[in-house]
């Protein structure tokens, strides 16, 4: 191998110019795939639940979807706890705060020990994405009138065509009266 020639330099310079050109053309296409500021702002929300007495519900919007927050009565909690696991269509909790193998027990679907009365769920029917009606249906939970899916007070599918329990997003109580979703 000899000394580099002028031709070697021209090949190298042309290759570098081509690479810069490709990157400058491709960058706008790559950059447009990032989420915009309004989407990032919705990544998490804080909800004040201080006005929710037992038996009351609140629906908020998070990431373009309705989220049901319910302060269940002691009777609703007791009824949900007494449901045998064998009676459930979907045995999994579908709770983003727990492992994927968590069972659909009332405790695993609720906000956890000491806050069993609180339930937070994404309010989209798992059949076709309709928004179920609250405090309706045979189990006084949620009822999707579009195709007849019935959920109990823990958001577990009990009857109808829906294949899964209502999903539970990642959330945490930041204080006794504020829930951070996302």
Grouping H, G, I as helix, E, B as strand and the rest as coil, residue 28 is helix
Annotated active-site residue 127? The verdict is no
Phi-psi region of 105 (alpha: psi -120 to 50; beta: other; left: phi over 0): beta
Q: How far is CA 4 from the centre of its chain?
A: 60
Which residue of the set 78, 115, 147, 177 is catalytic?
147
Cα–Cα distances in Å, from 150 out to 63, 89, 92, 112, 147?
Answer: 24, 11, 17, 23, 9
Residues with catalytic function? 147
């Amino acid at each position: 191998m000899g000394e580099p020639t002028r031709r070697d330099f021209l090949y190298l310079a042309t290759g570098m110019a081509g690479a810069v050109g490709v990157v400058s053309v491709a960058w706008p296409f790559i950059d447009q795939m990032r989420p915009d500021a309004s989407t990032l702002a919705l990544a998490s929300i804080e909800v004040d639940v201080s006005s929710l007495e037992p038996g009351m519900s609140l629906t908020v919007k998070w990431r373009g979807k309705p989220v049901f927050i319910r302060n269940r009565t002691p009777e609703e909690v007791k009824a949900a706890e007494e449901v045998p696991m064998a009676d459930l269509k979907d045995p999994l909790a579908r709770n983003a705060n727990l492992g994927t193998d968590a069972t659909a027990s009332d405790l695993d679907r609720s906000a956890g020990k000491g806050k069993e009365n609180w339930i937070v769920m994404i309010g989209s029917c798992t059949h076709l994405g309709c928004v179920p009606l609250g405090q309706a249906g045979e189990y006084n939970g949620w009822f999707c009138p579009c195709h007849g899916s019935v959920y109990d007070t823990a958001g577990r599918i009990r009857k109808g065509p829906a294949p899964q329990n209502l999903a539970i997003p990642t959330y945490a109580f930041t204080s006794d009266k504020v829930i951070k979703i996302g």
